[in-house]
Structure 1
Amino acid sequence: MTSWPGWPSSPEAAMDEELQRLRSILDSLQAGTWEWHIPSDTVIVNDRWAQIVGYTLQELEPVTGRTSVALCHPEDLSHSSQRMTAYFAGQTPRFDSEVRLRHKQGHWVWVRDSGCIVERDGTGRPVKLVGVRQDITERKQAEELARSEGDRFLALARVSNTGVWEWSQTQRLLWASPEYFTMLGRNPGDYVGHLTLAQVWVRWLHPDDLERATQAFADYLAGGAIGMYESEFRMLHANGSWVWIWSRGSGLSDANGLPQGRVVGTHINITSLKQARAHLRESQQQLELISNNIPDAMVFQLDCGLAGEQRCMTYISQGVQRTHGLTAEAVQQDASLLYRQLLPEDAVHLQKVERASIANFSHFKVEARSRLPDGSLRWFMVCSSPRRLDNGHIVFDGIEMDITERKQREQEIFALNTRLEQRVQERTAELQAALQRLEQAQEGLLQSEKLASLGALVAGVAHELNTPIGNAVTLASTLQQAHRRLQQQVASGLTRGALNDYLVDVQEGGEIIERNLQRAAELLGSFKQLAVDQTSTQRRRFDLQALVQEIALTMRPAIRKTRHQLHCTIAPGVTMDSYPGPLGQVLMNLIGNALVHAFAGNAQGNIWLQGEPVEEGWVRLRVSDDGCGIPTRYHKRVFDPFFTTRLGQGGSGLGLHIVYTLVTGLLGGRIALESHRGAGTCFLLELPLHAPASAPDTGAAAPK
């Protein structure tokens, strides 16, 4: 038999050659082979089968069906079993399964088993199954990475509410993510399957944007979908409103850089951004309108560079024309036009203030003078604050106001204040002189009041001494007459009876004269102490009842000239360590005030002087009357100096003021007035039994 060149010489050789070729193919694929004898559960494998999981063949022998089960990941066992069952049942053309196996080093290895039945028994049951095993770990990792990246991209799109879309030029179909529809208030479930641009884009475009938006996308596709596609348009929301969309996309290329006919892109809802931009434009217009219409002022933004090395006006209002005679355009081109108008000393000061503000990033306010093109000199106030922009530049935002008129007013006010100060000084000198004269007059009146009190005292002394001295004089005259009679009787012949009568008259007269002179001596002693008290502020211990009796005795002559009555009721045993003179003057002034003012038009009235101790260390005195009372409108003024209702009728207006001053000052107490028109008047005094060591402030509180 002749054999052709290159052909096997025999069937056996042909089979060997075929087996060798298969081995070469399997080696190139680095695939493991396996042959499973099902009835005996024995598996014949090659070295590569064991190497895939990091073992040698000897380490795994004997290999059975349970060997793979022991190495398989628990989560993949059911999957592999289901695939085998489906193949044996004829549901799949071959057995094909992907599972994870435990590597010898402990990690998991993805493998793919593919096989088919090569032998069955007489009943058709599988006897032998052969196949190959491939390590697909790298492929699985790549798939997992791609899936993770895809999930991450879709998650980012979902979180950012970004709609993702893909357009196929060849199929002319559109795929869109759920966010593509939800940002338009639509249910993504209503838009599944094959979608067209007309369905989910063109028909929702705003009429004013339709032509422009569709033409822009068509032009991008016509240009080969090279570079980036970008467009802004409005799409109809399900609620009838319009949503501004920023659409961006890019064509996909293959490994050779050739277009694939697919464009992927995103839809971003920029409605809020559009509204914010509109509001910003409106605010800018309002700000510009306001800044341009501020009278006698200009608003500016000054760029000072990265570290204050330059001065460039990035914005200045039209007010610069009114305040500096320069156009806004000219100043924006050359900011030095403004600086050159400054007076030299003010320019130096402003630059110093600006440098300090930049160094500390602090607000500043400065006044400066500028010489305008028309030659006039104007005052300006500059208020500004620095801040740093995103590009690192430092800018001043501020306002400059023309304060020339204010400065003129300040100068006028300063001159006026100077004149006023001079006038105030002159007037103050006049008032001081008048006050000095007034104090002298007041001192004179106070002395008059004291002299009046002494006059009352003298009158009382004269009246009280008149009786005992008069009696003594009368008896002395009587005794003198008796003495002359005795001399006559002696000359004519003195009888015993006449002598006895004379002796009786002399004895009785002497006794009467002695009693009257003793009474006069007692009165003089009392009046002497009262006079000392009235003319001094000597402090001593005294009995309040005795002091009041002396005062009543002193006031008796003045009271007897009227039909009024003085009733004194003082609790016995009240001893005070105070100033009897000032206290006596207070009581005499109050009694005298009642005699003068309380009973106008009344023929007869009563005055009560009452005293009793209150809580520990204090005594309460009441000087009251049943006269006409004091009108309510005068209550707050009765203690004021020189206040009197009998002006021109002898009243000085100092009596009650002296009372108030002594009670609240030297005596350390408090005085109050209770009076109603037609119901009499009561002065209530509350005094400490021990006067303070030094005079307290006027109005010192006392117990109620």
Structure 2
Amino acid sequence: FEYQVRQRSGDILWLSDSATGVRDEAGNIVRYEGTLRDITDQKRAEDAIAEGRRLLQQVIDTVPAVINVKDRDLRYVLMNRYMAGIFGIEPSDALGRTTADLMSRYGAAKTDENDKRVLKLRKGLGFYEEEYKDSSGNMRQWLVNKLPLLDAEGEIERIVTVALDIGERKRGEQEMRKAKEAAETALRNLRETQASLIEAEKLAALGRLVAGVAHEVNNPVGISLTVASALERKTAMFTAEVERGELRRSTLNDFLSTSRDASSQLVSNLNRAAELIQSFKQVAADRNYSDQRNFDLGDLTEQVVMSLRPGLRKHNLTLNVECQPDLTMNSYPGPYGQVLTNLFLNSVAHAFPDGRAGTIDIQVRESGKDNVEIIFSDNGCGMSLDVRRRAFDPFFTTRRDQGGTGLGLHIVYSIVTNRLGGRLDLDSEPGSGTRIQIILPRVAPLEQAAE
């Protein structure tokens, strides 16, 4: 048996006492013979081991992850409280038990298979993912690593397993994937909607041009109709006099003079109407002409401006155009016309509130060897810093209550920077008008996304 004794110095000794009874001839015990050993060092070593194991258990119990150690027979010799809690037991309850005692048959078989791989390969498996059910029947997902512990001879003595619960991370990844898909779908829908609105804005701008040109064409056509009606009446009167035989020289001279004047007015006004219609036809055709082709920038600018002039009169505006001759380009005439039209309509709508008079200037000139410069400016009310910063943003408008879509200048920016391969700069101050500089390459990029 073992017991403690206190020395005179106060130190405690552990003693191990073993004795055997010595019997006489009659079988009676007459004395005891035995040994008394000092096992203090042994006890201290055992206490140190126990304390180390207790400390190790405390440490691993603080880790929010699965930690366990098994022997070569795949029985648990150590398990932390986190893992024991998964199975609804105390860590000490797991000692000496196998995975089959704690897990489902499927989970135990997978775990034992990986433990045996460690014994066979004599090295760790590296991190891998694994699933098994807890005591509540919930499927748990884990990031696992298994490592061998070697004895003094280099043989595998233990297998250490560490596993992190990655279920929350997996759910987060799944939610992120769903959120990403939803965001991509929303962005795709937004782009489709934006494209539809931009196309609608283009058609609306074209419609405003049609209305303006129709109004302008009505003037020469109306005059021509009035002149033709008057000439018809004069001709009827002249014919009646001829049929009655009452034709006089004065009547003939008067009829000839009236006919000359009427013919001159008809030719002049009908030519004016034809020019307007031809100009509009060219602009409309160019808008639908998406292919790249050669054209004279000055001529095209004049054609576009001619279709814009009908909108000037009712707005009390003056439009000045200055084009450098012989500026040949290989680009997209339709989108260029759309740019000028949108800039003009934007200026008319925003730069001159309350019907105030004003001037719009367009200058077209060469800029270096390979570029052209278009300056579009007005002497209108100008823009504040906030408006200027957001002027080209889609759907930004200062006239939402009056039906503005906020796409006019965005379309300009999109066409210039994408289809035409250029750049633009906006300069404006409140009360000082607005100036937009556009730099375009004389040869547009071949592969640019449509606006």
TM-score with structure 2 setting the length: 0.68
1:392 aligns with 2:392: no
Distance 2:106 2:379 in 1: 83
AA in 1 matched with 2:231? A
Displacement of 1:560: 1.4
User: 1:661 aligns to what?
Assistant: 414
CA offsets 1:303-330 (integer angstroms, 9 cap, x no match): 43xxxxx457676678887667467499
CA offsets 1:566-618 (integer angstroms, 9 cap, x no match): 12111111123333333223212211211110122472222111111112232
Distance 2:394 2:211 in 1: 22
Displacement of 1:621: 0.9
1:682 aligns with 2:435: yes
1:348 aligns with 2:101: no
Distance 2:214 2:443 in 1: 30
Displacement of 1:454: 1.9
1:392-471 correspondence to structure 2 within 5 Å: 392-396=154-158, 398=160, 443-463=199-219, 469=224
Distance 2:91 2:276 in 1: 106
For the pair shown, the structure with the greater C-alpha radius of gyration is 1
Distance 2:134 2:358 in 1: 88
1:268-279 correspondence to structure 2 within 5 Å: none
SS in 1 for 2:286: helix
Distance 1:349 1:573 in 2: 82
Distance 1:321 1:664 in 2: 65
1:65-214 correspondence to structure 2 within 5 Å: none
User: 1:566 aligns to what?
Assistant: 319
User: 1:631 aligns to what?
Assistant: 384
Q: Is the 8 A contact 2:373 2:438 kept in 1?
A: yes
Total equivalences in the alignment: 399
Displacement of 1:353: 0.6
AA in 1 matched with 2:156? I
Distance 1:591 1:298 in 2: 71
Q: Is the 8 A contact 1:671 1:684 kept in 2?
A: yes
> Which range moves more in the overlay, 646-655 or 591-600?
646-655
Distance 2:104 2:153 in 1: 34
Higher RCO structure, 1 or 2 (CA under 8 Å, sep 6+): 2
1:689-704 correspondence to structure 2 within 5 Å: 689-696=442-449
User: 1:288 aligns to what?
Assistant: 56
CA offsets 1:638-674 (integer angstroms, 9 cap, x no match): 3344432212323233322333333334433333332
Displacement of 1:394: 0.8
Q: Is the 8 A contact 1:379 1:402 kept in 2?
A: no
Displacement of 1:531: 4.0
1:476 aligns with 2:204: no
Q: 1:675 to 1:504 in 2, by over 3 A?
A: closer
TM-score with structure 1 setting the length: 0.46
Where in structure 1 are there 5+ consecutive unaligned residues? 1-207, 209-276, 305-309, 699-704
1:582 aligns with 2:335: yes
User: 1:358 aligns to what?
Assistant: 119
Distance 2:267 2:206 in 1: 35
Q: Is the 8 A contact 2:217 2:273 kept in 1?
A: no
Match among 529, 549, 563 for residue 302 of structure 2: 549
Q: Is the 8 A contact 1:624 1:682 kept in 2?
A: yes
Q: 1:640 to 1:313 in 2, by over 3 A?
A: closer
User: 2:4 aligns to what?
Assistant: none
Distance 2:314 2:355 in 1: 14
Displacement of 1:630: 2.4
AA in 2 matched with 1:394? I
Q: Is the 8 A contact 2:419 2:450 kept in 1?
A: no
Q: Is the 8 A contact 2:231 2:262 kept in 1?
A: yes
AA in 1 matched with 2:56? E
Distance 1:652 1:327 in 2: 69
Distance 1:600 1:452 in 2: 19
Distance 1:298 1:633 in 2: 57
Distance 2:450 2:246 in 1: 82
Distance 1:648 1:356 in 2: 74
CA offsets 1:326-379 (integer angstroms, 9 cap, x no match): 674993xxx34565334333332222111212333114567576998xx99997
Distance 1:538 1:318 in 2: 74
SS in 2 for 1:340: helix
User: 1:615 aligns to what?
Assistant: 368
Q: 1:597 to 1:311 in 2, by over 3 A?
A: closer
SS in 2 for 1:561: helix
SS in 2 for 1:391: coil
AA in 2 matched with 1:608? D
Distance 1:487 1:380 in 2: 112
User: 2:357 aligns to what?
Assistant: 604
Q: 1:582 to 1:289 in 2, by over 3 A?
A: closer
Q: Is the 8 A contact 2:418 2:448 kept in 1?
A: yes
Displacement of 1:695: 3.3
CA offsets 1:481-533 (integer angstroms, 9 cap, x no match): 88369649x845735x7656655665566556555555554454444433433
